[in-house]
Structure 1
Amino acid sequence: MSGNDKMSSRELGLVLAQQILDVEDLHYGLWDADLELSLGNMARAQQRYTEMLLALIDQLLADHPAPRILDVGCGTGHMLQLMIERGYAVDAVNPAAALNKLVRERLAALPQAAATTLYETDFESLPRSSCRHQYDLLLFSESFQYIPLPELFEKSPALLKPGGQLLVCDFFKTDAHGDGGDGDRSFSGGHLLHEFYRSVAASPFTLLQDEDLTKRISPNIALLDEWLMQRLLPAAASTDQYLCGRYPWLTRFIKWLARHKLARVRYKYLSGHRSQAVFEKYKSYRLLVLQLED
């Protein structure tokens, strides 16, 4: 995907999620027992996720003089802003035109961001000439899943300084993927975890940290499932009843034209299979640190 004015369905979903939930970030929240699971606490859960990453970045770069970071898939730019305000030199790459507008607005309001470059393209298309061996850390916060593993492990070493690191926080597919069980197709995205480990073994990277966050991330799915089944499903049924009553032939015709897409949406979001238990079966959410061999 390249930066252009046409918004993809994924971009639309991210922007709507931000607007509906009134949150700064587009990533999942981090839930622990002391935080009540509610939409009202979503921003706090996301803040915990962000604070976890910032603390780890501080730890990883503590001994680096004037470290530079590349934020891969920077979303709305909130994490980018926080890293810049923390004193880091940070560039970003983001292919989503709709989100890049928000990023540019953030950067324009930050005097410290004068030297920051926003590459409005995908990771694979980053210019080698200006980015070669420039960074101490590449950050992938729920963006790792969108980059093919061969391209990722081919491109990353050229961007990093010797001994540079990858910080990845994202979900992967478990070995249950493709088993045909209930909910097997409810969650798309993510690399197969065993294929990731195989790719690491064949790469010039060493896996320094591998933490399973699935149980702390999966409550987001329970929250979303409750909202879909208790709020969206009844609202959709009421809307359908109204349209069928007022415009029966037109409504039936449109539903017939979109029947395959509607069937996919119903299965994915409104079948009851998009649950916390299904997520924990088919997805593994990992916090990973990989270091490039000197």
Structure 2
Amino acid sequence: MGSGRIDTRTVGLEAGCALARWLTGKEHMHYGLWAGLDPVAANLGAAQEAYSQRLMALFPPGPLRILDIGGGAGETAKRLIGLGHRVEIVVPSAFLAARCRANAPGAVVHEAIFEEAAVTGPFDLCLFSESFQYIHLHDSLPKAKALLAPGGAIVIGDCFRRDDGPWRHAPGRTVGGGHVLGEFRAAVAREGLVIEAEEDVTDEVAPSIDLEQAFFNVLGVGVAGMDRELRAKRPWLRGVAVGVLGRVMGARRRAALARRLTAQERTSAAFRASNHYLLMRLRPAAV
């Protein structure tokens, strides 16, 4: 019989993929670009498609050998293979690796964190699509640069913290995340890289936050209603449920989940105040 805490990360990934597939027919796990679109669930697929097109507009001419770092469930790799590119994917979990193999059977999948992935290259493109923020700067840029073929490029689409913003007062509680932008730019220069294309799409991405929070608030209404009914009509069952939850989730995670389901602080305005969302292409500086 198994023991220990529930792996909430894997559960969350599975639920996220299932929700994305139900809403859009695809398992994209990135934000969308909402210019000209109302931020409602029915438009999520179109917003994610707009994001993919804008990101891929930064790619060098192909066909390319691409390393998709943190490739999610493999939807991007599937599209890239369909366009004639050769793709290898690095993903850190068994669940995501399985989804990548199912969605993009033509890709080589490495189940590992990027820092430890046994990839050799060379690649014409190293792609970080909402994965760059999870890798330390002293690992991500040097390794990606070392894997590039002559003339190769690094493309990043991700969130960065503003150098000075409200997030500094409560970093763990403020929507968004990523490397501090000034520290990132310093690391780029230190590694002998240049940013040859950059686009700030913060305003177009920000409505994703409102949509995400609205979804969690809907869940919160259901959870609150069930708790009310159990408290009034089955208090013993509620006591058992609370006890089980306490055993499998620590107090910190329970508090974080409760905030996510009921709070209103995660908004597009809060996201804009503390973050930049950037699309960019980097290359090694000419010697």
TM-score relative to the length of structure 1: 0.84
Counterpart Cα distance in 2 of 1:187 and 1:94:
24
Match of 2:14 in 1: 15
1:29–1:49 contact (8 Å) kept in structure 2:
yes
2:219–2:261 contact (8 Å) kept in structure 1:
no
2:175–2:266 contact (8 Å) kept in structure 1:
yes
Equivalent of 1:83 in 72, 76, 80 = 80
Please show how residues 253-268 of structure 1 align to structure 2 within 5 Å.
Answer: 253-254=243-244, 258-268=250-260
Amino acid at match of 1:152: S
Q: Deviations over 1:29-76 (max 9, x none)?
A: 11112x22210111111111112223332xx225xxx53111111111
Match of 1:100 in 2: 97
1:172–1:283 contact (8 Å) kept in structure 2:
yes
Match of 2:239 in 1: 249
Q: Indicate whether 1:214 and 2:202 are aligned.
A: yes
Change beyond 3 A, Cα 1:179–1:52: closer
Q: Indicate whether 1:158 and 2:161 are aligned.
A: no
Change beyond 3 A, Cα 1:291–1:8: farther
Across the two proteins, how many residue pairs are aligned to each other?
Answer: 272
Please show how residues 89-128 of structure 1 align to structure 2 within 5 Å.
Answer: 89-108=86-105, 113=106, 116-127=107-118
C-alpha deviation, 1:9, in angstroms: 3.4
Please show how residues 1-294 of structure 1 align to structure 2 within 5 Å.
Answer: 9-21=8-20, 22=22, 23=24, 24=26, 25-33=28-36, 35-57=37-59, 60-61=60-61, 66-108=63-105, 113=106, 116-127=107-118, 131-132=120-121, 134-174=122-162, 175-176=164-165, 178-180=167-169, 185-187=173-175, 189-229=177-217, 231-245=218-232, 246=234, 247-251=237-241, 253-254=243-244, 258-294=250-286
Change beyond 3 A, Cα 1:7–1:292: farther
Amino acid at match of 2:18: Q
SS of the equivalent of 2:168 reads coil
C-alpha deviation, 1:106, in angstroms: 2.6
Structure 1 unaligned blocks of 5 or more = 1-5
Q: Deviations over 1:196-244 (max 9, x none)?
A: 1111121121111221111000111111222333x12211111211332
SS of the equivalent of 2:264 reads coil
Identity of aligned residues (%): 31
2:134–2:178 contact (8 Å) kept in structure 1:
yes
Amino acid at match of 2:206: S
C-alpha deviation, 1:188, in angstroms: 5.5
C-alpha deviation, 1:105, in angstroms: 1.6
Counterpart Cα distance in 2 of 1:198 and 1:269:
37
Structure 2 unaligned blocks of 5 or more = none
Q: Deviations over 1:118-151 (max 9, x none)?
A: 1111111122xx514x111101111111111001
Counterpart Cα distance in 2 of 1:262 and 1:7:
12
C-alpha deviation, 1:275, in angstroms: 1.0
SS of the equivalent of 1:56 reads coil
Counterpart Cα distance in 1 of 2:134 and 2:40:
29
TM-score relative to the length of structure 2: 0.86
SS of the equivalent of 2:58 reads helix
| Greater CA drift, 254-263 or 161-170 | 254-263
Across the aligned residues of Structure 1 and Structure 2, the Cα RMSD in angstroms comes to 2.4
